[in-house]
Amino acid sequence: MLFNSSIFAVFIALLLPLYAILPASRPRKLLLLVASYLFYANWDWRYLSLLLISTAIDYHAGKRLARTDRLGARRGWLFASLFTNLGFLGVFKYGNFFIELAEPIWSSLGIVPIRFPGNIPVGISFYTFQTMSYTIDIYRKKTSPCGCLLDFALYVSFFAQLVAGPIVRSTQFLPQIVSMKQLRMGNVSSGTHRFLLGLFKKVAIADNVGLFVDTIFQAPGGYGAITLWGGAFAFVLQVYCDFSAYSDMAVGIGRAFGIKLPENFKNPYLARSITEFWQRWHISLSTWLRDYLFIPLGGSRKGLSRTYANLFITMFLGGLWHGAALTYVVWGGLHGLILMLERILGIGTSVRDENRGGFFGVVRGIITVSIHAVGLVIFRSADLPTAWQYITRMVTAWESLGGEQMALGWTGALILLCTGQYFIERHGIDRPLWIEMPAAVQGAALAMLLYLTAWFQADKVAFIYFQF
């Protein structure tokens, strides 16, 4: 069920008034849970069982972890949680990938391996990470187990962010739903604005840019360097407007029900280094990898060599998290190498760095976006040979082969996006100020967003991160 579909419009139009008329907190939570399961089952009802199994095991493991101090028992329950969640990921997301990698072995032995049928369960990478963080935090004694199965099940399956994040920690979500309050018109208004902003970014920008991107990436050998750079920058624009749009829509839906979901992006194209980029991009994943992978590996506490190795391993596995393909693995490894190099050279700028302006700051920003664009060429390409051809021609094919005008147009749109992010951050524009505006202004702005969304709408396209 896509957020940008008519069936979702009917779904949310029925859910909001039903929620509003329920008299107490528990029925409201039960309604949201049932709605979330229906939302997920709409993709493929068979995979709903994985979500239910993960919920049951992690809820039970959390309660048992809190009841014992015996190290062996605690490790056993933590292992049960990790084995279940990582096992689901390994089988349903990576099973065929590892079978294909071992193809020479099967051939030499005369074995025809069995492949897993069907598509990857939507959202499996997100909700498994979410539930694992819960049991790990209890194991570390950083939080207490949830005492209500209904609350925990809603935490795992809340439809707003179930299939593409943001990845929510239990300490962020569970305290908010202890008592689910009635709808407030201010929350509904603010949430609707945020949802429509995301809908506009997805339908009017990302999907239309995607038409150009698909054309370029299907046959990069037929285009010159200018067009290929334009295609890479267009994908930078597309993937941001697509993924941040989903996060905007998720945050807006949560806000309408009085639930605050974490922000997943913080003007990432203002970054002055790849280190800073990961402090601004897909924040819920980057902080998850930091807290549950990089730091447990030793972080930066065990010497420089170990720090560099930990950075590379974290980003390598972060690339593998995105999917079972060598392109994602190489993309993650490339980011790991760049983070290592920036740490060595001491150029990893913090988001809080005040010395961001000036000529050199702008140059660093352009270099960062360009490195990100080249990495996304690997990320977006069908395979590594295609990615290599694309990148090679970006450097060598300066003959004119057509497509330059469209490429320059989308590059200009990316520049406008970066400029807009600059003014948002520079002047501290706060989106919740929306609810303080006069009703007439809110109505006019919402109507304009709807009109522009309908005007620019391309064919309905699934969000890019649904495949992960």
Q: How confident is the model at residue 439 (pLDDT cuts 50, 70, 90)?
A: low
Rg (CA), the chain: 23
**pLDDT value, residue 323:** 80
Three-state secondary structure of 203-263: HHHHHHHHHHHHHHHHCHHHCCHHHHHHHHHHHHHHHHHHHHHHHHHHHHHHHHCCCCCCC
The DSSP letter of residue 167 is -
Whether the predicted pLDDT of 463 surpasses 70: no
Judge whether 230 and 169 are in contact, CB under 8 Å. Answer: no
Report which residue type is found at 246: Y
List the structure tokens of 61: 């493991």
Distance CA 441, CA 178 (A): 35
At residue 312, the pLDDT reads 92
DSSP code for 79: H
134-190 confidence digits (pLDDT tens): 999 999 989 899 889 999 999 999 999 988 879 999 999 999 988 888 888 888 888
pLDDT-based confidence at residue 429 (cuts at 50, 70, 90): low
Question: What average pLDDT does the segment 382-396 reach?
Answer: 91
Reported in sequence order, the residue ranges of 271-338 that DSSP labels E, i.e. its strands, are none
Contacts of residue 432, defined as CB under 8 A and 6 or more positions apart, other chains included, come to: 190
Longest dimension (CA), the chain: 73
DSSP letter at 201 equals I
Sign of CA dihedral 251, 172, 126, 147: negative
Model confidence at 385: pLDDT above 60: yes
CA distances from 212 to 165, 239, 286 (A): 27, 13, 29
What is the pLDDT averaged over residues 181-210? 86
The three-state secondary structure class of 442 is helix
* pLDDT tens-digit readout, 322-377: 887 889 999 999 999 999 998 888 876 555 554 556 667 778 888 898 899 999 99
pLDDT value of residue 81: 92
Report the pLDDT value the prediction gives residue 194, as an integer from 0 to 100: 87
Distance of CA 51 to the CA centre of its chain: 19
In the chain, what is the straight-line distance between the N-terminal and C-terminal CA atoms, in Å? Answer: 16
Q: Among all residues, which ones are annotated catalytic? A: 322
Nearest to 89 by CA among 400, 323, 358: 323
Read off the pLDDT band of 101 (50, 70, 90). Answer: low
The residue with greater pLDDT, 114 or 170, is 170
Q: What is the mean pLDDT of residues 376-384?
A: 92
pLDDT of residue 132: 92
431 pLDDT above the threshold of 60: no
Cα separation, 183 vs 53, whole angstroms: 31
CA distance 128 to 76: 18
Q: Residue 156's pLDDT is what? A: 93
85 has pLDDT over 70: yes
Q: For residue 60, count CB atoms less than 10 angstroms from its CB and return exposed for 0-12, middle for 13-18, buried for 19 or more.
A: middle
The pLDDT value given to residue 270? 85
14-29 average pLDDT score? 90
pLDDT at 435 over 60: no
